[in-house]
Structure 1
Amino acid sequence: MILYPAIDLKDGHAVRLVHGEMNRSTVFNENPAAQALDFMRAGCEWLHLVDLNGAFAGEPVNASAVEAILAQTDLPTQLGGGIRNMETIERWLSKGLTRVILGTVAVENPNLVREAARRFPGQVAVGIDARHGKVATKGWAEETDVDATDLAKSFEDAGVAAIIYTDILRDGAMKGPNIEATAALANAVSIPVIASGGVSSLDDLRALRDCGAPLNGAISGRALYDGAIDLPEALAILR
Structure 2
Amino acid sequence: MIIPAFDLINGTTVRLYQGNYSNQKKYDINLYKRLKDYEIKGVKNIHLVDLDGAKNIKKRQIRIFKDIISYTDIPIQIGGGIRNEEDINMFLNLGVKKIVIGSSAIKNRVEVKKWIKIYGSNTIILALDVIIKNNKKEIAINGWQEQTNTTLEEIIEYFSPMGLKHVLCTDISKDGTLSGPNNVLYKEIVKKFKHIEFQASGGVATLKDIVSLKETGVSSVIIGRSLLENKFTIQEALKCWQNE
Equivalent residue runs for 1:80-159 within 5 Å:
80-121=79-120, 122-132=122-132, 133-159=137-163
TM-score by length of 1: 0.93
Quick check: 1:198 aligned with 2:187? no
Is the 1:59–1:82 contact (alpha carbons within 8 Å) kept by the matching residues of 2?
Answer: no
Structure 1 residue 29, shift from structure 2 partner = 3.5
Within 2, Cα distance between the matches of 1:30 and 1:161?
33
Unaligned runs of 5+ in 1: none
Structure 1 residue 160, shift from structure 2 partner = 3.0
Quick check: 1:231 aligned with 2:234? yes
Structure 1 residue 201, shift from structure 2 partner = 0.9
1:103-125 deviations in whole A, cap 9, x for unaligned? 10000011222111111121111
Structure 1 residue 230, shift from structure 2 partner = 2.3
Paired-residue identity, %: 30
Within 2, Cα distance between the matches of 1:22 and 1:150?
28
Distance change in 2, residues 1:120/1:156 (3 Å): same
Amino acid of the structure 2 residue aligned with 1:237? C
Is the 1:114–1:159 contact (alpha carbons within 8 Å) kept by the matching residues of 2?
Answer: no
Equivalent residue runs for 1:1-239 within 5 Å:
2-29=1-28, 31-58=30-57, 61-121=60-120, 122-132=122-132, 133-189=137-193, 190-211=195-216, 213=217, 215-239=218-242
Structure 1 residue 58, shift from structure 2 partner = 4.7
Within 2, Cα distance between the matches of 1:26 and 1:236?
28
SS for the counterpart of 2:161 is: coil
Amino acid of the structure 2 residue aligned with 1:129? D
TM-score by length of 2: 0.91
SS for the counterpart of 2:191 is: helix
1:163-219 deviations in whole A, cap 9, x for unaligned? 0001111010000111111221222221111100111110000001112x3x11000
1:112-157 deviations in whole A, cap 9, x for unaligned? 2211111112111100011112111111121111111221222112
SS for the counterpart of 1:199 is: coil
User: Matched residue pairs, number?
Assistant: 236
Unaligned runs of 5+ in 2: none
